[in-house]
Structure formats: structure tokens, C-alpha cells
Chains A and B, each alone.
Chain A
Amino acid sequence: MADVPMTSEAVSPPRERGRTSSSTFVRVFRYTAVRLLALVLSVVFGVYLTILVANMGGAVDDIRRGQIREGVAMMLSMDPELRQLSRAERDALSAEFIAIAEARFGLDQPFIIRSFRFLQNALTLDLGRAEHLTSDSGSREVRQIILERLPPTLVLFATANLFLFFFSVSMALFLSRRYGTFLDRMIIALSPASSAPSWFYGLFLILFFAAMWGVLPYGGMVSAPPPAQTSAYLLDLARHMILPVSAMVLSGIFASTYSWRTFFLIYSSEDYVEMAKAKGLGARDIERHYILRPTLPTIITSFALMLISMWTGAIILETVFNWPGLGRLFFSAINLYDTPVIVGETVVYAYLLALTVFMLDFVYVLVDPRVKIGGGRGSA
């Protein structure tokens, strides 16, 4: 040690090294347990709320009862044999049919009891059978329907969102170094363009590229009939993806770049960035270690939420481009009061969201030394 007067200031705040690892384990365990419990509760609450809303608090049951009654009445009136029965007999028969049909749909039990059974099924991912919708292969299994619609949505939204994310972050980083240049001001000026949704741009893209110039398809995922060869199929898919991806990128790129640029501008005026400059570090080192590294938690959060958002698809965009994805499925399910499909999509989304939030907590610890799991003290 140097011959420096070691006074009180030399005694720095003790890092919790003296504590045994078992207490760390208890702290992490307790934190994890509490966190999981909170997430599970919010998933349960959210899914139950969805069940209530999707069933309109039970009003959908009345609609179904009406549909059953109508169907039975139609059946009875169409059948010539039954037409000969007396009115009383027909009424009795109709009541019997209605009771059977209602029992089949579970309508003989009050909604509130059934809602909890729905909840249990949803939470155990027993997604059940759709009431009206079918998968293209004819299955009524909600799981099957969702699995069939998932790949188109993922391929479209992953392409657009990943491109949008990485492009806007790197572009923003570039702009934050060129504050006030023409390009920078242009992006700011164009950022209100993002207030229009992607389908709005989609309409214009279709108008120009499909209707007027005929160079790209109007919509759909592949041509009919689909090309047999894999490479030709992929090329065809890519051709169909150009317009919807462009629509999404156009509507998102300016605002996203603008907000990241502002974010990086704020963080690049931190004292430690100036210090890094004074130290003569290269621009790349400053960017990597002094701007990106401290902001990594925010960037990762935004990336993770972007990944989850791919799960929902986009209702109108998929409709405009006739894209067989989850967004359109959701839309049809709402139209047809197909509650199992609505609830099925929601519960999967809720689980994914909860899982992401849970994992983010641990990722933060990895990327930011100031964050400590369950540490009330010592963390900034």
C-alpha cells in the first residue's frame, strides 16, 4: 500500500462479500418465488378477464341459446315426418332437442361456474375445440388452428420487426453522432409519418405496385397453386412479403429511429461519455462500451417486447394483405363469437409475456452490475 494517509474515506462501502452464499441463495429464491407468484396471478387475472369479455359476461350464451332454438325450430319445420305431429308433441320434442343441444354446449350450467372451468382449461393450455372456425386441414382443435396460423404471422412480423428494430437502432446511433445534420433533421421531420398505421401504407402500396404497375401481388402468402419446389416456394413467399413488410417498415421506421436517436443523444451527453472522448478512445469503442453497454437493459427490454408483439399479428394489415395469420384469425373469432379461439390466443400471449418479463429480470442482472436480484440495498 502506498504511503497515503488512510482515513475514513478509504474505507469504502463494504460489498456484501462477507455474507455467505446461502443468504444469496435465499434472497434469489425468495425474490424468484414472489416474482413468479405475482406473474402467475396477473396471468390468471388477465385470462379470466378475457374470458369474461369474450363471452360478454355471459351474453354470448343467450346468443347461442337463440341460435340453438332457431336451429331446432328449422330442423323440426323441415322434417316432413315431424310436421305431422301434434303441436304439443312437437313442442315437447323441440324442448328435448334444445335441452340436448344446450347440454352439449354446456349451457345447462350457469355461466359463472363454466367461466371457472374455462379458466382452468385455458391455464393448463387445454385450449379445447373451436365452435365455428376450423383449421385449413379441417380440424376444430384450437391448438391446431393456432399452430397453423402461427408460421405465416411469425415469418411476416419477424422479418419486418427485426429489420425495423436493428435498422432503427443502428441508424439512430449513427444520427446521434450527427446531430443537426440534414439527414437528422429529415428523420425528425418525417417522424409524424409514423402516426399512420401500417395498413394505411399497405393500401397505397397495393394501389401502386399491384393495381397500377402490376409488379407485385395484391396479397396472400403464396401464389395459387403454390410452387412445388422449395426454392421457388421461398422466392414466391418473399415476393408476397415485400409489400406487407414495406408497409410495416414505412409506418414504423421514422418514429422508431427518432425516438432511439433522442435516447442515444441523452445518453451520449453523459459525463462518462465525454470522459471517454477525452481519453482518446475510438468512436467504435465509445459507442460500444460507453453508449450501448450502459443502455443495454433498455434496448433488451424493447427487443423482448418487440418479440412478443409478433405473437399477436396485426388484424387490419393481415386483412388488407389477405395474409393467413393470427391477426386475421383473431378477427374472425371475434366476429363469430368463437370464444375458445379468442381465449386460446390470449392465454398463449399472456404466458409468453409473463415468461419474457420474468426472464428480463435475470438478463438485467447479467448486463447491469448495479442491478441485484432482490437487493433492496446497494443497488442504484
Chain B
Amino acid sequence: MTDRSLLRVQDLVLYFRTSAGVVQAVDKVTFGLERGEAMVILGESGCGKTSLAKAILRLLPRNVQRYDGSVFLDDMDVMRLDDDDYRRRVRWIKISMVPQAAMNSLNPVLKVGDQVAEPMITHFGVNKKDAMTQVRRMFEHVGVPLDFVKRYAFELSGGMRQRVAIAMSLVTSPDLILLDEPTSALDVLTQANIMNVLKRIKKDMDASFILITHDIATSSELADRVAVMYAGQIVEVDTAEHFFDEPLHPYSKKLMASVPRLRADQEPEFIVGQPPSLLNPPKGCRFAERCGFRFEQCSQEPPLMDVEGRQVRCWLYAEEFEKVHAREAGA
């Protein structure tokens, strides 16, 4: 790990208790993130992407069954902090988030400007006037007209609300911004606008991003690195160039093949079958059932293997992995 390292998530587990049984929404997730880096976490609905975001931010619902692992932020294991310390030292100081649906994420009876100012007032103890100055600066930054500070959420369009939510996530200049499908509730034009705002912010500010999305096409514009989630696990972590060129994991391959392309003759493919239930995930590789490359070893759970600096959870790469290991052991 270099000193550029910001976030290190290790064996993060989040299980929910439901009437049907235990849902393994986030299962031993491990990844790292550097300063100023943007990572995209890709995955289809129900694969545990949003639960991962909530686990990182410790926004737990009432029915948590198991929540452990480590989350290192600047080499401090924030999982060890108690709730109040966590609130004071991590929330919105180090990590902020842009929610999935900004429609419902703004308090309907408070002016949006006040809501954006709140973290400033709570964490930095600044007075209302100074906080509002910063709010105006942020509104300008994300392209919200300044007189909107006095408006209520219901008086704003969807795109404007999302911009307000982005302004809110930036107001305390946190190190890491979690974007949980920030554009999925918007129309295509607005999506493009928001993505432009995000790209500009990424360029201007020294913040790291985790963009959680199912939208491969738009995510490719922002990503430095890509993590693919499948059935509660990370199955591949890769640099963006490598991943979008030639993903390793069979699931990633299928995922990429399902994206329609502008200048290609081939029809987009689809992935046969359904992702497994997180209630009772299969013993071995969780993708095995839908996988075209399936072989015997797939009935055992594959570890996350390093393959030339890329990480993949698939037995197909076991040989290369062994080779690298052997070389390392020999050296």
C-alpha cells in the first residue's frame, strides 16, 4: 500500500435477518481505493451494491444479523469506532454520499440550502452565515441557481434535486464520496448533465469516488478502476482500461457483451438465468450455474486471485495465479 491509499475494505460482511432466513447481502468484500481515484462498482440489481455502500457508511437497517470486517480509512479501522465517534469523525468529514433517489432524500419541510449547510454547522461549528456562503459556492459549482437555497425540495426538478444532493456531498470537502446510482432515476439528458458535473468535480477536487451503478456505459466515463459485484461478492477488481477492453471473469465478460455498441454488428447478448438467491447462496462459485466455462472445480468457492495486478474470483485463472505465486516463492 502506498501513502496514496485512502480506503481499504477487508472481509466486510453484512447479513440481514428476514422472515425467510439470513440474506448474505455483502459477503467478505475486500478492495482498496487510492486518493483521487474513482472506482466503479458494477453489478445487477440485488447483488448487494447498495448494501455495500451502507455497510461502508454504517447506515444499517434494524434487521442486521452480522456486520463485521475492517474498513481502514487513512489506516484507521473505522469499524472499531463506537457510533458517536463514528458520527463525529467519519460521517461527512471523511465519507459523504449521494443517494440513489434524491427525490426522497431531501427533507420535504426544510429549505434545501439549510439542508446542505447542516453538515458544516454540525461538524465544523461554523455559523449559519458562513455555512450559507459555502453552500452558495457549492451550488455554483454543481450548477444550481443560487436563489434555490431558499426553496423546498418539492419545488425542484429531479435533476436539480440530484445536483443539490451532489452539492451536499461536497460541502464539507470529504475524502471519499459514495455515489449510489446517482443518475438511475433520471432521464437520459439529465443523466448526461449530472455525469458532466461529476466529471468536472473529479477534475477539480482531490476527492475519491466510489460510483455504484448498473450502468456500464455511463460508468466508463468516470472510472479509474472497476469492481464487479455478483451475489454479494466482489468477483473482479481491475483498472478501467483493462476491464473495459477485456474483462477476466466470465460474468464480467457476459456483462460487457450485454452492452449495446455503437459501431459493431453484433447484437448485445444477455445472460441466461437468474442470479442466485442471497438467502442460500450456492456452495461453490456463485456464478457457476450461469457460466459457460463451468468445470469441476467450480463446486468449490474460488478465492480472489491476483493475476498480473488484477484480481479475479474464478478458477479459470488458478493456473496463472499458481505460476505467479510459484515465481514469488522462488524469488
Contacts and interface: CB of A to CB of B under 8 A. Distances in A.
Contacts of A276: 107, 118
B155 A5 contact: no
Given A4-B143, A12-B160, A282 B108 contact: no
Contacts of B62: 179-180
Given A274-B59, A285-B122, A15 B155 contact: yes
Contacts of B156: 12-13
A2 B140 contact: yes
B92 A280 contact: yes
B197 to A, nearest CB: 7
Contacts of B155: 12-13, 15, 378
Interface in A266-297: 269-272, 274-282, 285, 289-290, 293-294, 296
Nearest to A1: B140
B152 A369 contact: yes
A33 to B, nearest CB: 27
Nearest to A290: B107
A2 B142 contact: yes
A342 B36 CA distance: 77
Contacts of B145: 1, 10, 12
A179 B160 CA distance: 35
A380 interface: yes
B105 A12 contact: no
Interface string B196-240: 110010000000000000000000000000000000000000000
Contacts of A270: 104
A222 to B, nearest CB: 47
B148 interface: yes
Contacts of A124: none
B196 A282 contact: no
Contacts of B118: 276, 279, 281, 285
B109 interface: yes
Contacts of A180: 62
Interface residues of A, number: 40
A6 interface: yes
A8 B159 CA distance: 10
A81 interface: no
Given A280-B119, A370-B109, A8 B189 contact: yes
A368 B155 CA distance: 13
Q: Which of B93, B96, B122, B143 has the most CB of A within 10 A?
A: B143
Nearest to B114: A289
A231 interface: no
A278 B59 contact: yes
A22 interface: no
A280 B123 contact: yes
B45 interface: no
Contacts of A62: none
Contacts, number: 119
A279 B142 contact: no
Interface string A282-321: 1001000110011010000000000000000000000000
A274 to B, nearest CB: 6
A280 B93 contact: yes
B59 A9 contact: no
Nearest to A4: B143
A279 B119 contact: yes
B108 A278 contact: no
Interface in A1-39: 1-2, 4-13, 15
A276 B87 CA distance: 11
B84 to A, nearest CB: 9
A17 B272 CA distance: 54
A179 to B, nearest CB: 5
Contact of A275 (B99, B122, B159, B189): B99
B109 A10 contact: no
Contacts of B123: 280
Contacts of A279: 91-92, 96, 118-119, 122, 168
Nearest to A11: B157
B197 A278 contact: no
A151 to B, nearest CB: 38
Contact of A370 (B154, B159, B189): B154
A280 B123 CA distance: 8
Interface string B95-115: 011010100111111100000
Contacts of B189: 7-9
Interface in A352-374: 367-370
B119 A368 contact: no
B27 to A, nearest CB: 23
Contacts of A4: 142-143, 193, 196-197, 200
Q: Which of B57, B109, B148, B193 has the most CB of A within 10 A?
A: B109
B190 interface: yes
Given A279-B91, A293-B107, A9 B159 contact: yes
A204 B273 CA distance: 66
Nearest to B165: A275
Interface in B71-99: 87-88, 90-93, 96-97, 99
Given A6-B143, A9-B190, A278-B91, A272 B107 contact: yes
A85 B142 CA distance: 107
B151 interface: yes
Contact of A15 (B87, B151, B160, B193): B151
B28 interface: no
A73 B108 CA distance: 74
Given A4-B200, A276-B118, A289-B110, 4 more contacts: A12-B145, A271-B101, A279-B119, A296-B109
5 nearest CB pairs, A to B: A4-B143, A280-B91, A9-B159, A271-B104, A275-B105
14 contacts: A2-B140, A4-B193, A4-B196, A5-B143, A12-B155, A13-B156, A271-B101, A272-B104, A275-B105, A280-B123, A281-B122, A294-B107, A294-B109, A369-B108
